[in-house]
Amino acid sequence: MTCLRLGFVAALLVSSAPSQPVPDNPTALLRTGASQTKATRVNEAIFEASGFGNTMMVVTGQGNVVIDTSIATQAERNKKLLQSENTGPVKYIILTHAHGDHTGGVRLWKQAGTQVIAQKNHVEFMNYQTRLNGFFARRNAAQFAIPVPPPRPWPGNHGATIEPTILFDDRYDFTLGGIKFEVYHTPGETPDHATVWIPKYRAAFVGDNYYESFPNMYTLRGTQPRPALDYINSLNKVLALKPETVIPSHGAPIHGAAEITKRLTRYRDAIQYVHDAVVAGMNDGKDVFTLMRKSSFRRISKWARATGG
């Protein structure tokens, strides 16, 4: 119930603060990056193809590492853009989490000998999404104004296809071409969420734990709870790395330690503020609608005006 309350109050904050431009038609979100003709060069070794889910490629002297593979309908275009920069073998694919806009191109990128890395909760989260495939198909169709797909046979409770060959618990490290990669469990948007850290480049790939919007603490289409305190701890873990480049899986890379600290701290504090306000209201015996209309509305609106959020 707490997560549901947080979701309602989060939606209230978004409506009370200046919003970013939103496409007139939600299907435009699915065309993000369609006009990109060349991959973005983040630094001398990191390239990005933009889309509804971005795909990143890290080039090393012994092969390449792909981080997230976008949605299936954009994966081929993203691959073409990235391989125009470097056609080296794909040694690893790292999935920041199991949402379809990150896993859609795994089979397209996977080669003989490619290792696919994910956090161990990936397996159950994939099964969860697959066992509710009809439910989510209708909700996603409503969210993005696309046709509802025809019903498919129910795959059962454990019918997901599991692509990863390496599943880790809290941390997994490897070195390729003299470049060390550290992969951390950072639950937030999903229970299997991971962050990729490359110390040489001071670069953190944060998946969907950061957006250029209010924190996505709850989806109106319905999904598993996103515990706010896990989100906060994961953002603190990233901040403790002191990154100089942050590459989200949606939106543009962020450069500069000061700017990164400002944005991620503000994002974390927004989650903390809403969480604590909701908990206080619950402890005071307020129902969710009272909390939305009265005390939290005033406090959150004041916070939004003060921070420009």
Q: Which residues, at least 6 apart from 78, have a Cβ–Cβ distance to it below 8 Å?
A: 33, 49, 51, 54, 55, 69, 70, 105
- For the chain, what is the mean pLDDT? 87
CB-based burial of residue 116 (10 Å sphere; 0-12 exposed, 13-18 middle, 19+ buried)? buried
The answer on pLDDT for 271 being more than 90 is yes
The answer on pLDDT for 15 being more than 60 is: no
pLDDT (tens digit, 9 = 90+) per residue, 175-209?
999 999 999 999 999 999 999 999 999 999 999 99
Structure confidence by residue, pLDDT tens digits, 86-106: 999 999 999 999 999 999 999
CA angle centred on 211, ends 225 and 272, rounded to 5°? 55
Q: What is the mean pLDDT of residues 78-83?
A: 97
